[in-house]
Structure 1
Amino acid sequence: MVAFRSLWLLLPRPVRRLPADLAAVLVLVVATNVAALAPVLRETPLRVPLGLAFVLFVPGYAFIAALFPEAGASPAVDGEASSDEPETGWGTSLTARDGIDGLERVALSFGLSIAIVPLIGLVLNFTPWGIRLVPILLAVSAFTLIATTVAAERRRALPPDERFRVPYRAWIAAGRAEMLEPDTRADAALNVVLALSVVLAVGSVGYAVMVPPDGEQFSAIYLLTEDDDGELVADGYPAEFVRGESKDVIVGIDNHEGERTAYTVVVLEQDVEVVRNETASSGNTTVTETIVRDQRELDRLQTTVAANESWHHDYTLTPTMVGQNQRIVFLLFPGSNVPTEPSMADTEYSVHLWVNVSESSGGNTGLAPRYAPARASS
């Protein structure tokens, strides 16, 4: 207890003076940012409940707290106030309702959060940052912290007996009395059953989150380019090169393996020939076969991608083989088992480009370029 009090005193005085509900909002914002961005924690299920509360409740609650700093009264039946309710702000029985009561705050918090977060995303969509995890996280956090600051200042400006408060001490005392000092044995038995039901429900939800049902596990590799507006698109791939010339593509990896996975991308340059397969061809059906006449390894890329995350890498492609219909292959190998001389038969994940490479800018053979759009197999 002494150590906790010492740590508490280390906090800035404005933070220590925050009301309990606003301090909880601040703690949730910090905890969500840590769970979403910390290298180890972001791979755990902890960020699921924190993220849901952060998106669906916290921004709206902070905004409502800024709008209504004063205590509110619950609606009384027939306009009469009950004298048994404490004037705490959560269920106070003032006849004049200057503020809103606790249930109204909760309902409005959910509704406003559902409205505020999409609006923030809409604004970010027209900025260079776009709708991504970090910009959304920082924008919602900034909005919530600003609203919390305004709420705290507006509450301090009110007389103490008019400020909204969450009567958590009364709730704790009532719960303790109900659980430890039941009136009858039947109440005690019901309390035990209720406690066991809550533990069972929490355990079931926790197990469902921690151990999700097994689904299809796979990885994917793909190529993208950047258009004139700076957007990533699966189009406009480079097809014409001069020997020694470099052009940029973006290599993408999606990890759906269910766990953090290390990847190796092997970039191959192949001189291929497409020939007719006489054995498989029959009648009007022609079956072709691609034969690799020569192959060179251009590069190897290594990275680690978290579960259900994507990785994009700007790659500078520089072919070295001269000729028409050269094939540039990107092979994806999950894990560390990468063959010394890999080929497309060694992995189920690959993507390729068809390019023409001339000796010089005027040395093109004049043949029509053969180009197949990039495709990923999974």
Structure 2
Amino acid sequence: MPDKNKYSIDLPIVVALVLLTDLFILIPELAATPIRTVLGLPMVLLLPGYALIAALFPAKDDLDGIERLALSIGLSIAVVPLMGLGLNYTPWGIRLIPILASLSVFTLLMCLIAVYRRAHLPSEKAFSVSFDDVYKALKSPFSTQPESRLDRILTIILVISVLASVVTLVYVVVTPKQGEKFTEFYILGMNGKADNYPTQFTLGDTGQVIVGVVNHEYEPVKYTIDLRLNNNSLSIPSDVKSFSLEHNTTWEKTVIFTPNSVGNNMKLEFLLYKNDNLTVPYRDLHLWVNVTGGMNATL
């Protein structure tokens, strides 16, 4: 008698979806289509958990269909962040390709284990899903002989709710949303890090820092930068003084300045203005600097 388990379609479908998702992410022409998102959702939210459940519970009597589906979603939500946490401590980091590779290898490996474990069970005890099972499952909520009219109504409502949730989730993912509008403004030392700032000067010396601006305003913005030492403006080049940025673009330049007064713990301010509003700074940063002069300098 042929082994009924070999005709199970659930694991081949999982493998096919994993490989198809890989193609739609790795091939640039396919990655530009909305199908990538449609395939990516089950790749993250369903397939890893389903493959793990199939490997852990190969027998038909271990779990019923609803329990398998619910646990598949729950375990997927648990497994994927753990993979991301693990990748964070590897040289590859949390990037698209390492995450895709990890999810694919994990899911395919669990499918192989599930196939192996099911094959070592009697065919009548191994869990399997056939086309007939899928057809009956889809048809049963709408059958003409439900247990009661109330059960039929509740089942139909449940099916519609699940479909509406899936459609809503897909819409939310594929539709770009405008997030919070803001501008990043930062200063770095010449080593490219947030330390080793120039703070000790002799009058006439120059200092250098890296100033960066990132536009997250969802529109082009004209920025103006002003450097002030104890509320006195310092001279800076015109290409640093004023510039425009498109949304989601970064501006970063080395700014050279020369303190024009002597004192201790003086406030060196980096002021950023947005568009033509030069009255109130949009963002501001500062350093505390010391400037020494000659014998007659006032400290």
TM-score (norm 2): 0.57
Partner deviation per Cα, 1:206-236 (whole Å, 9 max, x = no partner): 5688579x9984223232769x9xxx98x43
Structure 2 counterpart of 1:238, one-letter code: Y
8 Å Cα contact 1:72/1:101 also seen in 2: yes
For 1:328 and 1:237, the matched residues in 2 are separated by 17
Aligned pairs for 1:179-258 (under 5 A) are 179=142, 182-183=144-145, 195=156, 198-199=159-160, 202-203=163-164, 206=167, 210=171, 217-223=180-186, 235-236=194-195, 238-239=197-198, 248=210, 251-252=213-214, 255=216
Q: Is the 8 A contact 1:18 1:152 kept in 2?
A: no
Q: 1:218 is matched by which residue type in structure 2? A: K
Deviation at 1:120, TM superposition (A): 1.8
Count of matched residue positions in the alignment of Structure 1 and Structure 2: 268
The runs of 5 or more residues in structure 1 that have no matched partner are 1-16, 75-99, 276-289, 306-310, 333-341, 357-363, 368-378
User: Would the alpha carbon gap of residues 26 and 129 (structure 1) be closer, same or farther in structure 2, given more than 3 Å must change?
Assistant: same
Task: For residue 223 of structure 1, give the secondary structure of its aligned residue in structure 2.
Answer: strand
Decide whether the 8 Å contact of 2:222 with 2:276 is kept in 1: no
Post-superposition offset of 1:67: 4.2
Corresponding residue of 2:228: 272
Aligned to 2:283: 350
Does the CA-based 8 Å contact 2:209-2:255 persist in structure 1?
no
SS at match of 1:345: coil
Where in structure 2 are the equivalents of 1:299-378 lying within 5 Å?
300=243, 302=245, 304-305=247-248, 315=252, 317-323=253-259, 327-330=269-272, 345=278, 349-354=282-287, 365-366=291-292
- Matched letter for residue 182 of structure 1: T
1:102-152 deviation digits (Å, cap 9, x = unpaired):
455445534543543343233223224444666445433332233234445
Deviations 1:83-111 (A, max 9, x none): xxxxxxxxxxxxxxxxx554554455345
- Change in Cα spacing, 1:323 to 1:344, as seen in structure 2 (3 Å) is farther
Q: CA offsets per residue over residues 256-307 of structure 1, 9 Å max, x none? A: x7xxx35557463x353645xxxxxxxxxxxxxx7687772327474544xx
Aligned to 2:53: 64
Note the alpha carbon deviations across 1:29-88, whole angstroms, 9 max, x for none. 45499589945749x9x67x954x5445422221232345x44336xxxxxxxxxxxxxx
- 1:329–1:352 Cα contact (<8 Å) kept: yes
Alignment of 1:100-249 (within 5 A): 101-102=64-65, 105-106=68-69, 108-110=71-73, 112-131=75-94, 135-152=98-115, 163-173=126-136, 175-176=138-139, 179=142, 182-183=144-145, 195=156, 198-199=159-160, 202-203=163-164, 206=167, 210=171, 217-223=180-186, 235-236=194-195, 238-239=197-198, 248=210
For the aligned residue pairs, the C-alpha RMSD in angstroms reads 5.4
2:280 & 2:268 partners in 1: Cα distance? 20
8 Å contact 1:224–1:251 — kept in the other structure? no
Which amino acid letter does the alignment assign opposite residue 146 of structure 1?
Answer: L
SS at match of 1:236: coil
- State how far apart, in whole Å, the 2-side matches of 1:216 and 1:251 are: 18
- Tell me the equivalent position of 1:73: 61
3-state DSSP class of the match of 1:238? Answer: coil
Could you tell me whether the CA contact under 8 Å between 1:265 and 1:301 is conserved in 2?
yes
The DSSP-based 3-state class of the residue aligned with 1:221 is strand
* Counterpart residue number, 1:296: 238
CA distance 1:318–1:218, change in 2 (3 Å): closer
Tell me the residue number matched to 1:91.
Answer: none
Letter of the aligned partner of 1:350 in structure 2? R
| Structure 2, unaligned runs of 5 or more | 1-5, 261-266, 294-299
Shift of 1:252: 4.6
Whole-Å separation in 2 of the counterparts to 1:146 and 1:323: 64
Which letter does structure 1 place at the counterpart of 2:111?
T
Q: Deviations for 1:339-370, whole angstroms, at most 9, x for unmatched residues?
A: xxx555389753445597xxxxxxx9527xxx
Give the letter for the 2:228 counterpart. Answer: V
Decide whether the 8 Å contact of 1:328 with 1:353 is kept in 2: yes
- The residue that corresponds to 2:11 in the other structure is 22
Greater displacement, 135-144 / 150-159 = 150-159
Deviations 1:225-256 (A, max 9, x none): 69x9xxx98x437345975x865566555x4x
Contact 2:118–2:127 (8 Å) recurs in 1: yes
TM-score if structure 1 supplies the norm length?
A: 0.48
Q: Give the match's secondary structure for 1:318.
A: strand
Q: Which amino acid letter does the alignment assign opposite residue 239 of structure 2?
A: E
1:197/1:118 CA distance change after superposition, 3 Å: closer
Higher helix share: 2
